[in-house]
Amino acid sequence: MSGIGAFARARDGSVIGRSAAESEWIPIAREFLATVASRPYAVTTQRELAQHVLSRSGIEVNPSLNKWIGPFLTHLTQACVAEGEPPLGALVTADHGKVGPAFDEALASLELGAETPKDRERLAAELRLQCYRWADAPEPAGGWRLQSPAAGERSPRARAPRATAHRAPAPEPVAVYCPSCFVQLPATGVCDNCA
């Protein structure tokens, strides 16, 4: 594909911009990610999502994946939240099994800041739990818990339990987001929007 500043080419051969391409991709991505969310701890990669939306839309993209996937995940996240859905972009990982820096702008659009890569991955894991619950994924034995994708469906690993004399029960997770509108809850635990 040629042309300075051309972002993509539509099925009919016309050159289109990022907004036009994303308006085609977002519904396709939401449908695909809703299917991913219906399986406990399932995730997909940026590459898999890109291949799916490109093949279904018939749009050819000029820039490489790493140039457009971050902004697309942000716009996808915003579209999901606007439709009353959880941020399905949290189900999309880089090839190394983490959401990675491409998800930073999406978190910022949710008014969530991640100061470290570990914070980013923890927030993404919390958002993924919202996605699984929203999609009515079957609850795993032992209930839902924060889990990195590396230990989830894409890369199952059995770990031997650590030998301990006594293991205290894990504390109940604290609600961080409103289950209705997915806005971060204040310290009171009561949503300012829904109360």
Query: How many Cα atoms sit within 13 Å of 37 on the Cβ side?
Result: 25
Give the DSSP H or E segment for 57.
helix 46-57
pLDDT at 162: 41
Specify the pLDDT at position 28.
Answer: 94
pLDDT of residue 31: 95
Q: How far apart are CA 92 and CA 95, in angstroms?
A: 10
pLDDT at residue number 32 = 95
- The pLDDT, as a whole number, for residue 187 is 63
Residue 184, pLDDT score: 62
List the beta bridge partners of residue 184. 177
Beta bridge partners of 15: 9
Q: CA-to-CA distance for 84 and 182, rounded, in angstroms?
A: 8
> pLDDT tens digits, the chain, 195 residues: what are they?
344 456 777 777 778 788 888 888 999 999 999 999 999 889 999 899 989 998 998 888 876 777 888 888 889 989 999 999 999 999 998 877 788 777 888 888 888 877 788 888 888 888 999 999 999 999 888 887 776 655 444 433 333 334 444 444 544 555 565 666 656 666 666 767 776
Q: What's the CA gap between 15 and 147, in Å, rounded?
A: 41
Buried b (16+ CB within 10 A) or exposed e, 80-89: bbeeebbbbb
pLDDT at 97: 79
